Amino acid sequence: MHARICTSLVALAISTGWAVPAHANTNAMESVLEQLATMRAEMDQMASRVATLEGELTTARADVAAANAAAAAASKAASTAVAVATDSKENPPVRVSWKGGPKIEGEGGWSFKPRGRLNYDAGFVSAPNSTGRPDGWGNEARRARLGVEGDIPGGFGYKFEVDFAGNAVEITDAILSYKDDGLKVSVGQQNNFQGLEELSSSRFISFIERAAFTDAFGFERRVGLSAEYGAGDFLVQAGVFSDNISNLSNKSFSIDGRAVYMPKLGVTQLHLGGSVHYSKLKDASATVRYRQRPLVHFTSERFINTGSFSADSELGIGVEAAAIAGRFHAAAEGYWQKVNRPMMLASPTFFGGSAEVGYFLTGGDSRGYKNGTFNRVKPANPVDEGGIGAVQVNLRYDYLDLNDAGIIGGTQNGIGVSVIWTPTDYTRFMVNYGRMDYKNAVHPAVGGDTSYGVDAFGVRAQIDF
């Protein structure tokens, strides 16, 4: 192309009569050719630059297209993330809350929560030296429990708990339940329905141990089937039970029932209830024994004790009443235990009862109550929020009579006082003192005297979750 341009320029010069001498023509031709060469080099540079610009334009267009695609993808990802976050917030697949311990809830009604408690007790018992009974300092891990509880889709629930106290492993609860509105049906190892204090968790009782009759008459968890129904101020509970899970494969069974009326009058929570317990013992050679420690559990001494005697069945009848009004509470229970004996032997009826009052020294605090039992105390000003927690004082009269129909097990008139400090919802410290006056005690003092007093002092540190 460049050669044609040069030829054309030469022809143009000749045709216009460019007349110069011959030697001048030669010089002029050389000058023109040099100029044409220069022009050709410049045009080559221009063509190269144009090609470079075309390549850069193509690359820029590709970069813009890639950027637009990336922006579109980012926008879509952001929209998806917002949708997922919104859906997760409104309908989270897994929710974790904290109520003394983690509670994990999943889709469809699943939930799982670990649970446990630790009661560590210490103190002393002082009995007359002439009885020859060992007394003095004692301590123990009263309870050391670990377990789980939760819900299963369809209205079902579960609870399983094991106690490791005393260097032994004992199943306390092993329950599968079903709930539908006010109805609850449970099967497995569970509490029977034998009174207000017995059904109130040990985490919430007002003394280091429950009233004497609850232990003396052998109240314990048993394997069975139960149902309870609550509507408004009324609660009805009933069940059929065999024996404790550690003592199965026998013919013993029991039938238990309880009814509670629990109205609230203004700020006052009232509680009135009654229970019936019938137990058929396992065989004709069965025996029973009723006895009780002096307030604290870390001593093995029992100063009232019927000893073992033959029995066919037991019939227990209990009454219970309580009131909670602000800082103040009062509760009382009575329980009659009749033992039917074989071979026309006289059938004794033993009795136990207690009455207590309590008062919170800290303002805004009150004893907890829920579904026919005492419940957790939640301090109005807990320590973790800069307060002092809840401080409560309690006074109790504790009576037990194990004398009847020729069986002399002894009687107890006990007075107890307790001070409870609850720093937070899930921690508790207790100081207890009890004076038990016995008659017909199983261990005689000097001169055969079976009427004397025993003092007991105990403290407890407690945590649960």
In a domain, 84, yes or no: no
* Per-residue model confidence (pLDDT) at position 80: 64
**One domain, residues 216 and 68:** no
Print the domain residue range for 70: 2-76
| pLDDT above 90 for 451 | yes
**One domain, residues 230 and 310:** yes
7-16, 225-234, 256-265, 283-292: least confident range: 7-16
Angle at 242 between CA 239 and CA 246, to 5 degrees: 130
- Tens digits of residue pLDDT in 214-264: 999 999 999 999 999 999 999 999 999 999 999 887 778 999 999 999 999
User: Where is 433: in which H helix or E strand?
Assistant: strand 427-439
Structure tokens that stand for 404 in this block: 């009847």
In a domain, 143, yes or no: no
Picking from 23, 51, 76, the residue at the C-terminal end of a domain is 76
Contact, 362 vs 380, CB < 8 A? yes
Supply the pTM of this predicted model: 0.80
Which backbone phi and psi does 43 adopt, to 5 degrees?
-70, -35
What value does the mean pLDDT take over residues 42-68? Answer: 70
* Per-residue model confidence (pLDDT) at position 44: 74
In a domain, 179, yes or no: no
**One domain, residues 124 and 46:** no
In a domain, 156, yes or no: no
In a domain, 105, yes or no: no
> In sequence order, what are the residues at sequence separation of 6 or more whose Cβ sits closer than 8 angstroms to the Cβ of residue 445?
128, 130, 131, 452
Q: Residue for token digits 């006289």? A: 346
In a domain, 321, yes or no: yes
* Per-residue model confidence (pLDDT) at position 28: 65
**One domain, residues 8 and 129:** no
Using only C-alpha atoms, what is the Rg of the chain? Answer: 45
**One domain, residues 133 and 26:** no
**One domain, residues 9 and 130:** no
- Give the chain's domain count: 2
**One domain, residues 385 and 266:** yes
In a domain, 98, yes or no: no
In a domain, 345, yes or no: yes
Picking from 76, 98, 128, the residue at the C-terminal end of a domain is 76
* Per-residue model confidence (pLDDT) at position 391: 98
Specify the 3-state DSSP secondary structure of 371. coil
- On average, the pLDDT of the chain sits at 89
| pLDDT above 90 for 437 | yes
| pLDDT above 70 for 60 | no
Contact, 184 vs 368, CB < 8 A? no
**One domain, residues 129 and 18:** no
**One domain, residues 62 and 205:** no
Specify the 3-state DSSP secondary structure of 98. strand
CA distance 203 to 367: 12
**One domain, residues 234 and 325:** yes
- Tens digits of residue pLDDT in 111-137: 999 999 999 999 999 999 999 998 899
